[in-house]
Structure 1
Amino acid sequence: MTILACAAMPPARPSLRRRRHEHLAHQPRLHHHRSCIPRSRLTCGGAGQPAPGPVHAPIWLLALIALSGSMAMHVFVPALPAAARDLHAGVASVQLTISLYILGMAIGQLFYGPLSDRFGRRPVLMGGLVLYTVAGLGAAFAPDVHSLVAARLLQAFGGCAGLALGRAMVRDTSAPQAAAQRLALMNLMTTIGPGLAPLIGAAVVGIAGWRAIFALFTVAGAACIWLTWRLVPETARPSAQLHWGGLARNYAGLLRSPAFLGYAVGGGCAVTSMYAFIALAPFVFTEQLHRPAYEVGFYVATMVSGIWLGSVAASRLIPHMDIGRLMVRGNALSVAGAFVLLAAALSGHLSVAATVGAMFVFTLGAGMAAPGALARAVSVNPKVIGSASGLYGFIQMAVGALCTTVAGLGHANAALSAALVLAAAGVVAQLAFWTAARYSGRILPA
């Protein structure tokens, strides 16, 4: 009877302390994080995949970080003559502060994506911002042109982190349609930068000298680091290892594709070749056209605004016109602008109106051609869109660096040198687009 009675009795309830201990034992351990980001915003998704929950980096901050890298190239352009005089350097030497910056941004884009897949977007982004800030400080105190060029190259390696990772963070945290909307807004913000940068650079140089530009970059970089630490969450879970072998195979497959090479090289010649003139613009306007230095920023901003208008025109025309046809016609417009500038330089009728007008037509065509070249290039092999995007960015920036370097060699007549490079690049772009069109239906394995 005693045994049956005991079996019928309900089990004794554990004590309050024991129940509390068991409850806490089943809860996940949350480690304290010094960042002010709420735990609900930290991701638990896979690398490169949209994270579950409301994990969002502020779009204005991602655009600001991307701008800090691209504007560092354009803001310094009005300061080139002053830096050359102060450092007792030639035009070709100081020109390297632009061409190597472009090259650094090209190379960096190949590595930030894989590194962020392995270690996470947030730490890699912050590492790039730290490098950008320290290099800016080094450039501000550069004793000679060689130190300045080295600091600019390191600044480019750090500055391209925002360009490479900002869009990836948007894709990580948004559904496809929402990502497209946020990327469009981000692109609109970053497109404004190149137009405003020369105006800002000219104003800073006129007030405080060229070294103050790098002091401004240092402050901006420090602010971006602090804001990233406070507001930007991790948006993708790091992967177990870096897949360098697979990445190399993807790049090799794309480089064997005539279609991809045609669109990538053509896109670079059609768009980033304009850096050749932008880098020489201070010498064209101040030394050849005898205009004051403070006007250079206004002229460059007017020319660069053609890209924005061309992009707007392309977005309106794409629903009604084949994207390949729009690309070729846009580049034809750029070629016409380049040859007008070349004719003015050769005939001795170079003027501010002719120069700004011809370059506005060139950048207008570039803005129309750019979307088609990128879209066709990344669509060559749908299995490696990410690799194609990174390689396209590298080739585009590398072409821009090459054009800038070649144009800088003809510093005796900067306008003629830039016009020759632009005209040649435009013709190469047109030939590359036509060649790519012949192979556009051919997809080579990665």
Structure 2
Amino acid sequence: MKKSIQAPPASGPFSPSVRAPLWLLVLVTLSGTMAMHIFMPALPLAGADLRASPAGMQQTITLYVVGLAFGQLIYGPVSDTIGRKPTLLVGLGLYLVSSVFALFAPTLEWLLAARLAQALGGAAGITLGRSIVRDISTPERATKDLALLNLLTLVGPGLSPILGSFLAGQFGWRSIYVFLVGIAAVMVLCAWRLLPETNQNRSALAFGKIAKDYGRLTANRRFVGFMLGGACSSTALYPYLATAPYIVHGQLNLPISQIGWFAAVTIVGASLGSSLTRRLVGRLQTELFLYMGVCLSLSMAVLFLIVQTMGWLNVPLLIALTFTLTMGAGMASPAALSRSLSVAPGLTGSAAGLYGFGQMAAGAVGTRLVGYGSDPAIACALVQIFLTLAGLAAFRMATRGPAAAPA
């Protein structure tokens, strides 16, 4: 992928004559979500090697989600102050060092600490990849390019378990961290040599100002609506990923080795939805993609509940339902992300960080809620209905009435 994002010759918040390699922004965005799920298939192997219980190993996922959520709150305002490039290099460096520590972890406690640090570093790529796009693009162009970056946060959880299963099965669980160390080293080198500074409107760092900036964002009805709506709609697939092993293997009696391919269905659906948004955003109002996407996902979640309750669920229906639901997520989430970052032009980094925090928080809530109930498929459908209804209500809050003045 040799495409670069080039800023238009416009004035204002954009950086003219600055290029950022799109493939590099894709890579750093992918790294954060990929490392979150690539380790999941290797939990039993690592647990046996480290003499850790299943509950203890599950904490490696929980702490990663926590670190990814809170890390995104930090990088946004810091990059607004010292610049995108140095902030990204610090985050990627932390990601690299912590991946090395995880590779050689002798105990569960060591691995938990490394995973938390790895998540704090990986959060930089998600937050700053989006901020850099927004720095150097017009709003319309930003929606198209953010759709590609946002796609990575959707498909990462679907693609990563397949790769993790292969690496762990063929070479052992530590091979996963060999792979992540290699990816991290490439990102640090390329970001250092190829990435320009895109933030031309830096301000002094002050903790009081950071708190005030987040306060301004959370007080902005439109930002909160787009952020919550995007977070809920884009993470509606997380409950499915958490319950897929029990549905595919436990209910449909398919081999465990096929679970990863059912997760891969989400990649295709999200890719198609995101591609539709990228292709049509200049012809239709952006808000239309919000409602089309979330309503499509909601209808599939309701249909999923009906099918499971009636005892009709089978492989073709499960594939069709999850494909269409994630296509709706792929349509809505890039439009929501673009709109949320456009609400407050002077707070792009903080807005990107808070948006990412909302995504991870919604994902954590969704994966936690599906643990309740005796039927995994029904629990999955109910949580998806809850998330998509919440997303629809949030989009309605953001788009009703006249646009608010910029924060």
Tell me the TM-score range normalised by the shorter chain: 0.7 to 0.9
Distance 2:251 2:60 in 1: 22
CA displacement, residues 301-322 of structure 1 (integer Å, 9 cap, x when unaligned): 1223211101122234444444
Gaps of 5+ in 1: 1-47
Out of 408, 415, 423, the position equivalent to 2:377 is 415
Distance 1:148 1:193 in 2: 22
Residues 421 and 142 of structure 1: is their aligned pair in 2 closer, same or farther, counting only changes over 3 Å? farther
- CA RMSD in angstroms comes to 3.5
Q: CA deviation at 1:153?
A: 2.3
Q: Answer whether contact 1:130 1:225 (CA < 8 A) is retained.
A: yes
Specify the alignment match of 1:434 in structure 2: 396
Distance 1:418 1:63 in 2: 30
CA displacement, residues 11-51 of structure 1 (integer Å, 9 cap, x when unaligned): xxxxxxxxxxxxxxxxxxxxxxxxxxxxxxxxxxxxx8738
Distance 2:46 2:254 in 1: 18
Q: Does 1:162 align with 2:125?
A: yes
Distance 1:111 1:196 in 2: 27
SS of residue in 2 equivalent to 1:273: coil
Out of 243, 248, 254, the position equivalent to 1:285 is 248
Q: Answer whether contact 1:303 1:357 (CA < 8 A) is retained.
A: no
Identical positions, percent: 41
Specify the alignment match of 2:7 in structure 1: none
CA displacement, residues 406-446 of structure 1 (integer Å, 9 cap, x when unaligned): 22455x543333222112111222222233333x4252674
Specify the alignment match of 1:365 in structure 2: 328
Distance 2:111 2:30 in 1: 21
Q: CA deviation at 1:103?
A: 3.3
Q: Does 1:65 align with 2:28?
A: yes
Pairs within 5 Å for 1:145-160: 147-160=110-123
CA displacement, residues 248-302 of structure 1 (integer Å, 9 cap, x when unaligned): 2232122123333222222211112322222333343334433333322222112
Distance 2:382 2:325 in 1: 13
Please give the TM-score of this superposition, normalised by the length of structure 1.
Answer: 0.75
SS of residue in 2 equivalent to 1:50: coil
Pairs within 5 Å for 1:111-122: 111-122=74-85
Residues 98 and 273 of structure 1: is their aligned pair in 2 closer, same or farther, counting only changes over 3 Å? farther
Q: CA deviation at 1:196?
A: 3.6
The structure number with the bigger radius of gyration is: 1
The residue type equivalent to 2:60 in the other structure is T
CA displacement, residues 152-191 of structure 1 (integer Å, 9 cap, x when unaligned): 222111012122223444566x575997599469639847
Q: Does 1:221 align with 2:210?
A: no
- Give the number of equivalent residue pairs: 393
Residues 335 and 66 of structure 1: is their aligned pair in 2 closer, same or farther, counting only changes over 3 Å? same
Specify the alignment match of 1:197 in structure 2: 160
Q: Answer whether contact 1:79 1:210 (CA < 8 A) is retained.
A: yes
The residue type equivalent to 2:26 in the other structure is A
Distance 2:21 2:283 in 1: 34
Specify the alignment match of 1:267 in structure 2: 230
Distance 2:48 2:310 in 1: 30
CA displacement, residues 117-140 of structure 1 (integer Å, 9 cap, x when unaligned): 444444332221222123223334
Residues 420 and 81 of structure 1: is their aligned pair in 2 closer, same or farther, counting only changes over 3 Å? farther
Residues 418 and 175 of structure 1: is their aligned pair in 2 closer, same or farther, counting only changes over 3 Å? closer
CA displacement, residues 59-97 of structure 1 (integer Å, 9 cap, x when unaligned): 333322322222112323443555566655346x54443
Distance 1:228 1:236 in 2: 15
Q: Answer whether contact 2:139 2:338 (CA < 8 A) is retained.
A: no
Q: Answer whether contact 1:276 1:404 (CA < 8 A) is retained.
A: yes
Q: Answer whether contact 2:147 2:335 (CA < 8 A) is retained.
A: no
Specify the alignment match of 1:443 in structure 2: 404
Distance 1:123 1:200 in 2: 31
Q: CA deviation at 1:379?
A: 4.2
Specify the alignment match of 1:244 in structure 2: 207
Distance 1:82 1:340 in 2: 37
Q: Answer whether contact 2:269 2:326 (CA < 8 A) is retained.
A: yes
Distance 2:60 2:242 in 1: 9
Distance 1:121 1:81 in 2: 38
Specify the alignment match of 2:265 in structure 1: 302
Specify the alignment match of 2:239 in structure 1: 276
Distance 1:238 1:328 in 2: 34
Specify the alignment match of 2:315 in structure 1: 352
The residue type equivalent to 1:417 in the other structure is A
Q: Does 1:343 align with 2:306?
A: yes
SS of residue in 1 equivalent to 2:237: helix
Pairs within 5 Å for 1:44-63: 50=15, 56-63=19-26
Specify the alignment match of 1:16 in structure 2: none
Residues 353 and 97 of structure 1: is their aligned pair in 2 closer, same or farther, counting only changes over 3 Å? farther
Distance 2:362 2:85 in 1: 30
Specify the alignment match of 1:8 in structure 2: none
Distance 1:320 1:377 in 2: 20
The residue type equivalent to 1:155 in the other structure is Q
The residue type equivalent to 1:205 in the other structure is A
Q: Does 1:98 align with 2:61?
A: yes
Q: Answer whether contact 1:273 1:425 (CA < 8 A) is retained.
A: yes
Residues 117 and 328 of structure 1: is their aligned pair in 2 closer, same or farther, counting only changes over 3 Å? closer
SS of residue in 1 equivalent to 2:236: helix
The residue type equivalent to 2:394 in the other structure is A
Out of 304, 314, 337, the position equivalent to 1:374 is 337
